[in-house]
Structure 1
Amino acid sequence: MMKKIFLMAFILMSLRTLAQTDSVKVEQFCQIIAVPRLLSNKVTIDVDFGDEKNYWTETRIKTLEGKVKKFNTIIDAMNYMGRLGWSFINAYPVRTYTTEIFHFAFKRLIYRSELQQTIQN
């Protein structure tokens, strides 16, 4: 009887080791770039996740329907990023000859396995 109990306990302990989850979290960073629209109070928001870009790559945020998300203000875009789990780090302006472009850095903690999935996609 005792052997059966030990055998059952051993089997249950070995099943527990197979059910472990990934508990290591890593930081992921992104940057939103806010460019004022011509003759408007609204801004165009581009998102930089550090991916390789070319001229044809779309960097604006899209809705679930695939349309480009329009933001009324920079704060509207920051609130949107906050709802997605991103935390604000820093902001800085870059002045060109005609306008001022604002850069906002964000970070979030994600599981290492999620990071591998985003890298593969």
Structure 2
Amino acid sequence: MKKILLALVLMFSLSSFGQTINEIPIKDLDVQYLQIVGTSKMLSSKLTIAIDIGQRTKLFSSNTDTTLLKDENGEGLIFNSMIDALNFMSANGYDFVTANILTVGGQNVYHYLMRKKI
């Protein structure tokens, strides 16, 4: 019984560190506000979500290299919709504040401001 309990605790602790930004778990980010930036994928209804926490980016890297939400394998997370991303961020300790939608090159880019729950 103790072995099963230990295995469950280890699996839970590993899964809680699955989603990261800059290799920092979302729940451990030391920021009060962040912005979700959702961009639709070509020929798909899915979205790629990047997170803006005000971090500096390297000169010759794309912004998505460091701001994509990544899973435990280092792959970018793909969401079905912005509501899917909002539910994900709410489950990770953030509340919705406001939203803006911009059209860039005929493609909608969604900007959602989130605030860490107190």
Same fold (TM over 0.5): yes
CA distance in 1, matches of 2:40, 2:75: 19
**Percent of residue pairs bearing the same amino acid type:** 29
Correspondence 1:32 to 2:40 = no
User: Paired residue for 1:48?
Assistant: 52
Correspondence 1:81 to 2:89 = yes
| Deviation at residue 97 of structure 1 after TM alignment | 2.9
Count of matched residue pairs: 85
| Structure 1 stretches of at least 4 aligned residues deviating more than 3 Å after TM superposition | none
| Deviation at residue 100 of structure 1 after TM alignment | 1.6
CA distance in 2, matches of 1:30, 1:36: 20
TM alignment of 1:50-69, pairs within 5 A: 50-54=54-58, 55-56=61-62, 57-69=65-77
What are the superposed Cα offsets for residues 27-72 of structure 1, whole Å, 9 maximum, x if unpaired? Answer: 7000010101110000110100011113254211012332221211
What is the TM-score with the length of structure 2 in the denominator? Answer: 0.64
Q: Does the aligned pair in 1 maintain the 2:96–2:113 contact within 8 Å?
A: yes
What is the TM-score with the length of structure 1 in the denominator? Answer: 0.63
Change (3 A) 1:102 1:77: same
Where does structure 2 lack aligned partners over 5 or more consecutive residues? 1-29
Structure of larger gyration radius:
1
Change (3 A) 1:40 1:107: same
Q: Does the aligned pair in 1 maintain the 2:41–2:48 contact within 8 Å?
A: yes
What are the superposed Cα offsets for residues 3-38 of structure 1, whole Å, 9 maximum, x if unpaired? Answer: xxxxxxxxxxxxxxxxxxxxxxx9700001010111
| Deviation at residue 74 of structure 1 after TM alignment | 1.2
